[in-house]
Amino acid sequence: MNDSTQQNNPLHGKTLETILKALVDYFGWESLGQRINIRCFTHNPSIKSSLTFLRKTPWAREKVENLYIRFIANSK
C-alpha cells in the first residue's frame, strides 16, 4: 500500500497495545468482554495477557481492530 492509501486507514500507525488501551479506557474490561467474548477479556484481564493472546490469534485481533474502527467512527 502506498501512503495515500494508508491515510484513510484508521489503524495506520497504531500499535495493538495503543488500540487495546483505548478500548479498555473507554469500555472497561467487563464491557469489552461483553462486546468481544474472549477469555483474555473476561477472566483476570490484563493488557499484557491480552496482547499475548491477540498477537497469536488473528481472528480475535481482527475483532478488536474492527471494534476500534467502529469506536473511532462513532467518536467523530
Burial code of 36-75, b = ≥16 C-beta within 10 A, e = fewer?
A: bebebbeeebeeeebbeebeeeeebbebbbebbeebeeee
Residue 26: band (very low, low, confident or very high) from pLDDT cuts 50, 70, 90? very high
The model's pTM is 0.86
Angle between helix 58-74 and helix 16-35 axes, rounded to 10 deg: 90
**pLDDT, tens only, 35-74:** 999 999 999 999 999 999 999 999 999 999 999 999 988 8
What are the chain's domains? 14-74 (1.10.720.30)
What is the per-residue pLDDT for 8? Answer: 76
Cβ atoms of 66 and 19 within 8 Å: the answer is no
**pLDDT, tens only, 30-46:** 999 999 999 999 999 99
